[in-house]
Amino acid sequence: MLDGLDPEQREVALALTGPVCVLAGAGTGKTRAITHRIAYGVRSGRLQPASVLAVTFTNRAAGEMRGRLRQLGAGGVQARTFHAAALRQLQFFWPKAVGGDLPRLLERKIQLVADAAARCRVRLDRNELRDVTGEIEWAKVTQTVPADYPAVVAKSLRDAPRDPAEISQIYAMYEQLKRDRSVIDFEDVLLLTVGILQDRHDIADQIRSQYQHFVVDEYQDVSPLQQRLLDLWLGDRDNLCVVGDASQTIYSFTGATPDHLLNFRTRHPGATMVKLVRDYRSTPQVVHLANGLLSQARGRAADHRLELISQRDPGPEPVYTEYADEPTEAEGTARRIRDLIAAGVPAGEIAVLYRINAQSEVYEQALADAGVPYQLRGAERFFERQEVREAGIALRGAARAGGNDSLLDDAEDLPAQVRAVLSTKGWSTRPPAGSGAVRDRWESLAALVRLAEDFARAKRGATLSDLVAELDERAAAQHAPTVQGVTLASLHAAKGLEWDAVFLVGLTEGMLPITYAKTDEQVEEERRLLYVGVTRARLHLTLSWALARSPGGRASRRPSRFLKGLRPGSGSLGTVASGGAGSFGRGSGTAGRRKPRGPALCRVCGTTLTEAGAMKLMRCEDCPSDMDEGLYERLREWRTEQARELGQPGYCVFTDKTLMAIAERIPTTGGELSMISGVGARKLDRFGADVLAICAGEDSGAGDDED
């Protein structure tokens, strides 16, 4: 059971008693460590399977944990989400604690929120309705009652989507409508379980007598309400193992906080602390970039960051690509993906990740035009697709028929049986040409075939009935197999996943960090979101951005500030991608503001400059620009006004290249301005004050009488 674990994973597996805190970086094998810990305890007789409760945050993660535990001989261990575990307890104890039947669980609360808003005479459009629903969820997991909501929002500096007093009113009406209609929502499942355990000590004792050992995965995502439930499950015991990484806290908008992870040793002074930093997922190049990204982070989570050490062979350098506009970025990404597939990378091992779901459309179109299959993560659930439901019915019928099904006469093993059954539903050995509904249907059925192959390898002698039972369990947990297409997903939806090749797209200011990230804490969470995206890549990593939204649009966008110091030529950390410089030349070069002595060198790539325009900018014409587009436009407007008053062409004030150089370097003093080629003593004396005022964001006073 301990064979194959590295020294730190082995330390986790052997720490079976007392509080244990595992700080596990991305790709360091945390699931392997904790499942082997549980299985080792069970197989050695030190843990009873029924006494262990492992909780995590997604049905997919819980399903994966159950599958691994079964393979390790610890199938009796409960591995569930917080909500699933609480709902099971609530359903069992409700008749005893309250009496009668448990109220109906409301799977989608948005319609009830709409009814509550209507009762309050507040009109909400669809987007506002979604946002207000999210606010109600946040309030409940942070244990904020309607009357306290406005004050809590003000104290937390949270940006409410509507007037907090209005949301408080809608929230209160929503709670009233739930009571009137005898329904509960998912947050109520936790709240009611907490209430019962607090009020009924006999029920709390009964649960504690059953569950004596707890494991919590992704502990950095625990909300105050989930922590309260965990405390009640534990009672006065300390047989708790938590696993998390503060640098992957990206769900604070749902109430998640890394404080419980970071304060674990304070709450449990004698806790065993183990750090997992050996990264088995990503190449040294990807890991180096990820470490460099976090090295610039600030705040409490950053103070506890883990420096990852790649255990893989070297791979290609991350590629940085700047595009003129978004469609060009999408088309360029699709071409690179097509090349990777042609080189042997499976489509299912490639992902395009973006900040918001609205960015997906242009990539869907580009991939479709390029003939590349794709799947949208977070779209229709796999097991709810019509073709998957029909396939399940057919497999279930064949399993019941057993040897009497003529379809299975020539099928020697489970995968062959599944292929035979699904061939009647549209599956074939060769995928249909092109994309569209026919291809989507085939991809779903092909995913079921691959699942059967994986299941047969994991469970020798498995029958069709065994597979049907597995499918039913996965459907209940929404633990879908991977469809063989390029994954399109938001960075939030990509958490916990990994691919051979990852394309991080749309990395511009205003998108990452997102415009509404105002506070330092919010901006740092955006940095962690990019970190999560970077660490999804095993081998190939491409980071890109577009200077304009549409073709011919003004190139006013700038690369994300998080890339400064990472991409070659963008600052002091420009050599982080050691050896190569992605798509941007040979290295970081020099970035001084002084006039060079001897040969003029490009401040981005270090090449000797010979062209006058390049020497004025102190960079090659095709090297990336970090120009402030807004400042450049303001300088051009000022120049037009000056030229009109002087009765001279604009270039007599300053040339376009000189204005570009000013907008790139943004001087703050006359000395810095004078170092820019094209700004001589006469022009410095005549125009320097105006230019420095514009650079500082002040009114230049253009148009005043200079005589």
pLDDT band at 193 (very low <50, low <70, confident <90, very high): very high
Spatial CB neighbours of 57, under 8 Å, sequence gap ≥ 6: 81, 82, 217, 218, 221
Confidence (pLDDT) at 616? 62
Residue closest to 537 by CA, chosen among 582, 503, 588, 580 = 503
Confidence (pLDDT) at 580? 32
Q: Mean pLDDT lowest for which of 33-42, 340-349, 410-419?
A: 410-419
Pairing of strands 319-325, 537-548: parallel
Average pLDDT over residues 236-242: 91
DSSP 650: G
Give CA separation, 582 vs 288, 434, 576, 624, 647, in Å: 14, 32, 11, 12, 47
Residue closest to 21 by CA, chosen among 238, 341, 322 = 238
Cβ neighbours, 10 Å, residue 104: 10
Helix H or strand E encompassing 661? helix 656-665
| Whole-angstrom distance, CA of residue 511 vs CA of residue 355 | 7
Spatial CB neighbours of 295, under 8 Å, sequence gap ≥ 6: 305, 573
- What is the per-residue pLDDT across 543-601, written as a single tens digit (0 to 9) for each? 999 998 777 778 888 999 999 888 776 654 433 333 233 444 322 232 333 333 345 56
| Whole-angstrom distance, CA of residue 373 vs CA of residue 435 | 7
Sheet holding 350-354, edge to edge: 319-325, 537-548, 499-504, 350-354, 486-490, 374-376
Structure tokens at 528: 């962690």
Average pLDDT over residues 212-225: 90
**Angle, alpha carbons 394-400-404 (nearest 5°):** 95
- What is the per-residue pLDDT across 141-162, written as a single tens digit (0 to 9) for each? 888 999 999 998 888 777 787 8
Asked if residue 480 has pLDDT above 60, the reply is no
Residue closest to 218 by CA, chosen among 235, 241, 187, 185 = 241
Pairing of strands 499-504, 350-354: parallel
pLDDT band at 483 (very low <50, low <70, confident <90, very high): low
Q: Mean pLDDT lowest for which of 148-152, 287-291, 421-425, 537-541?
A: 421-425
Structure tokens at 485: 């297409």
Confidence (pLDDT) at 699? 67
Cα-trace Rg, the chain: 29
Using the structure block, give the residue that is written with the tokens 């050691």: 578
Residues 564 and 309: beta-carbon distance below 8 Å:
no
Confidence (pLDDT) at 600? 59
Higher pLDDT, 608 or 535: 535
Total residue length of the chain: 707
Structure tokens at 368: 């479709």
| Whole-angstrom distance, CA of residue 178 vs CA of residue 103 | 10
Alpha helices (runs of H) in 352-503, residue ranges in sequence order: 360-369, 386-401, 414-422, 437-458, 464-477
Higher pLDDT, 327 or 700: 327
Confidence (pLDDT) at 698? 76
Asked if residue 527 has pLDDT above 70, the reply is yes
Q: How far is CA 454 from the centre of its chain?
A: 27
Q: What is the dihedral of CA 404, 409, 413, 416, to 10 degrees?
A: -110
Asked if residue 492 has pLDDT above 60, the reply is yes
Asked if residue 45 has pLDDT above 80, the reply is yes
Residue closest to 433 by CA, chosen among 368, 365, 483 = 368
Give CA separation, 318 vs 26, 179, 223, 582, 647, in Å: 18, 54, 35, 6, 51
- What is the per-residue pLDDT across 666-701, written as a single tens digit (0 to 9) for each? 888 888 888 887 787 778 888 888 999 998 887 665
Give CA separation, 350 vs 374, 487, 500, 609, 629, in Å: 9, 6, 6, 39, 33
Q: How far is CA 374 from the centre of its chain?
A: 19
Q: Mean pLDDT lowest for which of 74-78, 234-238, 525-529, 547-551?
A: 547-551
Confidence (pLDDT) at 584? 46
Q: Is 104 helix (H, G, I), strand (E, B) or coil?
A: strand
Cβ neighbours, 10 Å, residue 158: 17
Confidence (pLDDT) at 594? 33
